[in-house]
Amino acid sequence: MESSAKDLVRQISVISAAVFMIIAAMVGVGVFGGTPVQELQDGALAADATYLAPASSAFSIWTAVYVGLFAYTVWQALPSQRANERQRVLGWWVALTMVLNGVWLVLAQFTTLVLTVIGIVALLAALAVTFRRAIVLSPSTGWVDRILIDGVTGLHLGWVTLATVANVTAWLTVNLPASWEDHAVVWGMTVLAVVAVIGVAISWAGKRLAPSLALAWGLSWLAVARITDQPESLAIGYTAAVVAAVILVVGIAFTVRGLREPRSVQTA
């Protein structure tokens, strides 16, 4: 299959998106003088700000996500990938997720908490579409493909799913009346039950382990935070641990099942 000018534009656009995301990430951790994420929005996004915030160690998963996206960016830029049909289907979408990733950090640095909610919901939606297109509309044809597109996108999706819950919870905590805190544990456990359903649904639909790994990672650190740190809640902590285990076991089961199934391109 011959390449075209559009293919070259796509490759350059993906590289540009990755550069923007990396610069935004550096600003987000304070490298260029910006305020670290944990201190933004008057501390509303800190690990001890809400009942559904994971411990700060959980955020080390961003290293894996960024390394994976960087590796994808280099790989998709190779001449051999220029006219690849799967890159044509997915390249623009992966670029969009990287741009929105960086946009969230910009919003967190310079705007309001409600805009960070809008930004992370947009990122989650883009990741969900990208993951669906990767799994359903354009299945992988090799292990490199499977790792750098399915795996990295799945890891990104799983983590951002939980990050969205934490971000929305932070916004609600700031804006709801203080009396609502009396019911925070019940609401927290309810939300975690919903996260369990979402995690199982992603495993069932995608049959990829990466989203489950990211969700289980975040939930495990959420459990650690609620059991060992403030605001303390053993009920939420143990619920998060159980949900993490369920999502991981179900994710493994569906991934094994997916590996045993014949691959075929499905239509929308």
Q: How far is CA 254 from CA 150, 181, 197, 210, 217, in A?
A: 15, 37, 14, 12, 18
Task: List pLDDT tens digits, range 10-33.
Answer: 999 999 999 999 999 888 777 777
Helix and strand numbers, DSSP H then E, in the chain: 9, 0
Average pLDDT over all residues of the chain: 91
The pLDDT score that the predictor gives to residue 113 is 93
DSSP 3-state assignment of 35?
coil
Averaged pLDDT for residues 44-64: 91
Give the span between the Cα atoms of 209 and 199, in whole angstroms: 11
- Where residue 1 falls among pLDDT bands split at 50, 70, 90? low
**Tokens representing 32?**
């260029």
Burial of residue 132 (number of CB atoms within 10 Å: 0-12, 13-18, 19+): middle
pTM higher than 0.85, yes or no? yes
What pLDDT score was predicted for residue 137?
A: 74
Most confident of 104-108, 205-209, 243-247: 243-247
- pLDDT tens-digit profile of 125-181? 999 999 999 987 777 778 898 999 999 999 999 999 999 999 999 999 888 887 777
Q: Name the residue type at position 127.
A: L
For 158, counting Cβ atoms within 10 Å of its Cβ (0-12 exposed, 13-18 middle, 19+ buried), the class is buried
**CA-closest candidate to residue 192, choices 215, 172, 211:** 215
